[in-house]
């Protein structure tokens, strides 16, 4: 099997760390792994297949002889360095929002629209969607293919790991401070996140929605390749370390019963059906953490519309919502498109 020189940009972050882990677990054909981050990470090493690899400073000349670059830094870093990397001849798979809505950049969830990877030749960049969008479209696609979707109303309950390592630490420290009856510190979020729920992810826009909510609206249409789907979202941060949960309400153009949905989802790629409420069996963030699948349950009729369903969708936001999806894109890329 041919091997590839792979770079991970933002290697010391939560998603970058997970990318390295997923590359190793899935035995991606890596010839040489280059780990890139800001100058603050110089001196650090990370393990890959038992070897300690030095973290290098990200520079404009970092991509010589790199075949595939997995990006997970800040969006402004991707805006600057992804085109530089692509111009050097490697294919960039970018986990930030920098290029997602660029019409010349494919936005890919392999279980949904793998064929879009072929468009990577336009700019040499493939965009990884928003974590909350990824798990939702994985669950929607099998249903959409049988009964076209007219409208989606989604409310998310998103883990702090979606904000990064500092947010994980902040939740941990706040919980400890509360139990020790000490003052809590708020640095990452505007309010206390421990034992609280914040209806606020990313910045607010003029239309009253947040950027995170509009990402779900716009990205869903692009990935599903159907601008007629009406999507509205409310995204909420909850005091959970790993795992995004979503309440998804769907209106279909034709019949889709709960039994039909269960049969379709049971055999759908990347989906695990967990749906027996009579025995208190349904998807949980705790059980999804560290897993690759998107878990779907609580499937039931919405009888306020002619063809409607509700369902509960849960996935690990760092794995399927970021690192795993990026590596799956890379796997399809080298198998069919590179």
Number of residues in the chain: 338
- CA 157 from chain centre, in angstroms, equals 14
Active site residue 120: no
Helix 324-332 crosses helix 14-25 at what angle (to 10 degrees)? 50
SS3 at position 32 = strand
The DSSP string of 78-117 is HHHHHHHHHHTTPEEEE-SSSSTT-TTS-B--HHHHGGGG
Active site residue 244: yes
Pairing between strand 125-127 and 30-37? Answer: unpaired
**Which residues, 6+ apart, have CB-to-CB distance to 248 below 8 Å?**
136, 139, 140, 152, 153, 154, 310, 311, 312, 313
49-79 exposure pattern, b = at least 16 Cβ within 10 A, e = fewer: eeeebebbebeeebbeebbbbbbbbeeebbe
Q: Active site residue: 49, 115, 120, 131, which one? A: 131
Q: Active site residue: 49, 90, 200, 244, which one? A: 244
CA–CA gap between residue 115 and residue 223 (Å, rounded): 11
CA–CA gap between residue 9 and residue 70 (Å, rounded): 6
Contact 34, 63 (CB under 8 A): no
The tokens for 303 are 């009888």
What are the backbone dihedrals phi and psi of residue 52, each rounded to the nearest 5 degrees, phi first?
-85, 120
Cα(first)–Cα(last) distance of the chain, in Å? 14
What are the backbone dihedrals phi and psi of residue 118, each rounded to the nearest 5 degrees, phi first?
-60, -25
Q: Which residues are catalytic?
A: 131, 244
């Amino acid at each position: 099997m041919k091997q590839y020189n792979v770079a991970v940009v933002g290697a010391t972050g939560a998603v970058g760390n997970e990318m390295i882990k997923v590359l190793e677990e899935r035995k991606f054909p890596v010839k040489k792994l280059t780990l890139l981050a800001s100058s603050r990470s110089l001196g650090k090493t990370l393990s890959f297949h038992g070897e300690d690899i030095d973290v290098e400073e990200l520079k404009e000349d970092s991509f010589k002889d790199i075949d595939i670059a997995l990006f997970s830094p800040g969006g402004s870093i991707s805006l600057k360095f992804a085109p530089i990397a692509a111009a050097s001849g490697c294919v960039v798979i970018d986990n930030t929002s920098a290029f997602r809505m660029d019409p010349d950049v494919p936005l890919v969830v392999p279980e949904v629209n793998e064929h879009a990877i072929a468009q990577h030749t336009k700019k040499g960049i493939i965009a990884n969607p928003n974590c909350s969008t990824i798990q939702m479209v994985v669950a929607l696609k099998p249903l959409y293919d049988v009964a076209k979707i007219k409208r989606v109303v989604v409310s998310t309950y998103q883990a702090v790991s979606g904000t990064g390592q500092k947010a994980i630490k902040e939740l941990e420290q706040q919980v400890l401070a509360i139990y020790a009856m000490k003052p809590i510190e708020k640095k990452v979020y505007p309010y206390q996140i421990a034992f609280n729920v914040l209806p606020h992810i990313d910045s607010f826009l003029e239309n009253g929605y947040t950027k995170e909510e509009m990402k779900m609206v716009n990205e869903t249409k692009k990935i599903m390749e159907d601008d007629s789907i009406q999507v509205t979202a409310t995204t909420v941060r909850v005091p959970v370390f790993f795992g995004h949960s979503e309440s998804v309400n769907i209106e279909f153009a034709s019949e889709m019963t709960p039994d039909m949905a269960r049969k379709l989802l049971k055999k759908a790629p990347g989906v695990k059906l967990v749906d027996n409420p009579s025995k208190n069996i349904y998807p949980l963030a705790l059980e999804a953490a560290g897993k690759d699948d998107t878990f779907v349950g609580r499937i039931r009729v919405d009888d306020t519309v002619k063809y409607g369903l509700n369902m509960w969708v849960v996935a690990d936001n760092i794995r399927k919502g970021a690192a795993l999806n990026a590596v799956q894109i890379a796997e399809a890329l080298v198998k069919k498109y590179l």
